Amino acid sequence: MANESRPCPCDIGDRFDYGGRGQEVQVEHIKAYICKPPACTDRAVIVIHDIFGWQLPNTRYIADMLTTNGYIAICPDFFVGQEAWKPSNDWASFDDWVKTRDAGKIDKEVDVVLKYLKDQCGAKNIGVIGFCWGGAAVQHLMLKNPHLKTGVSLYGVIRRFADKHSLLHPTFFIFGEKDDIIPLEQVTLLEQKLKQNCKVDYEVKIYPGQTHGFVHRKREDINPQDKPYIEEGRKDMINWLNKYL
């Protein structure tokens, strides 16, 4: 597996040479990256970035991959102009940094993006995916936003919403077996709570040997034994969206 000595390895394998197939737009007070398929569609996916922000090439690569599967994909700046975390930052300051960027306080921005997708893009069936910080945001939205059809939370930080499990929409949770940020006991507890409280379809899947950030890691920067699980995670994500959108 890739060497992950840092607390959050989502930035490993940055596609610094990957400019993206889409474009940057201004949606009211939010900047966003959007990519549209050549054929008209009423299906769209909001992509919620991790702590490294909306401009991370890895995240744009996944947004473009959604577009190649027939979706309008939009990745807004949910930090709304505040600086994203940099790998060179001092991790000792992370707790203070993240307090000003609450994954449970993005509802205003989501409403703006939903209006844009419906009014400007003709979207009627809208889902959401998110990575790490964004994965926690997906869980938040699946608990309360009635306008989204489904969600995929990729290694979302469980502890942020550990006591809330009554999901409104079908939700797929992706975790890595070797994730140092999200221990397996947290995943087990999440499954137990969902089983007790959740009335909609859900799935929790653990991918063997995988670490935090594995699904949106650059293919060329992984070990051969990781590649099948990365591809499986991406395929599972697309299949879930296809099922509910």
Residues with a known catalytic role: 132, 179, 212
β-pair type (72-76, 43-48): parallel
First to last CA, the chain: 33
φ/ψ of residue 208, rounded to 5:
-55, 135
- Distance of CA 128 to CAs 6, 81, 113, 152, 188, Å? 27, 21, 11, 6, 23
Question: For residue 108, what are its two tokens?
Answer: 């205003």
Residues 6+ apart with CB under 8 A from 23: 33, 34, 35
Q: Which of 35-67 are b and which e, b meaning 16 or more Cβ less than 10 Å from the residue's Cβ?
A: bbeeeebebbbbbbbbbbbbebbbbbbbbbbbb
**What residue type is 4 in one-letter code?**
E
